[in-house]
Amino acid sequence: MGIVHHSRYLPMMEEARVAYLRHIGHPYQSIRDEGIEMNVLEAFVQYRLPLEFDDLVDVHVALARVERASFQMGYLLTVDDQIRATGVTAHGAVSPEGRPRRLPAWFRELRPADG
């Protein structure tokens, strides 16, 4: 059909989230080294216009909400400044054994994007 399958949007969002953490000086592996996993609890994508094969997609990501042990990220997927999709993921901090944990202090101090 020449369009990107709907399941491929979430990996793009994940890649942007991992890049965000790296950009703020906390690569995901360093968080894991602290004994914290950030499991996805929910994912929502609103498909506005389809992505097409070979589109160059920009994925904009912003911290949307921070609680003691959870957070949300917001996403905007664009091609040539045209909105193709929006999304939100919710995450919970857990130990490697899967028990709930507080987010690290540095994470709880981050400020969600205005908007």
Determine the Cα–Cα distance for residues 40 and 89; give it in Å rounded to an integer.
Answer: 7
DSSP-derived secondary structure letter, 112? P
Domain boundaries, given as residue ranges, for the chain: 6-108
Per-residue pLDDT band at 114 (split at 50, 70, 90): low
Q: Which amino acid is at 52?
A: E
Q: Which CATH superfamily is domain 6-108 in?
A: Hotdog Thioesterase (3.10.129.10)
Annotate 66-87 with DSSP letters as a single string. Answer: E-SSEEEEEEEEEETTEEEEEE
User: Is pLDDT of 25 > 60?
Assistant: yes
Does the predicted model carry a pTM greater than 0.85? yes
Per-residue pLDDT band at 84 (split at 50, 70, 90): very high
Determine the Cα–Cα distance for residues 19 and 29; give it in Å rounded to an integer.
Answer: 12
User: Is pLDDT of 66 > 90?
Assistant: yes
Alpha helices by DSSP H, 1-115: 9-23, 28-33, 105-108
Residue tagged 């003691």 (tokens): 68
Average pLDDT over residues 53-70: 96
User: Is pLDDT of 90 > 90?
Assistant: yes
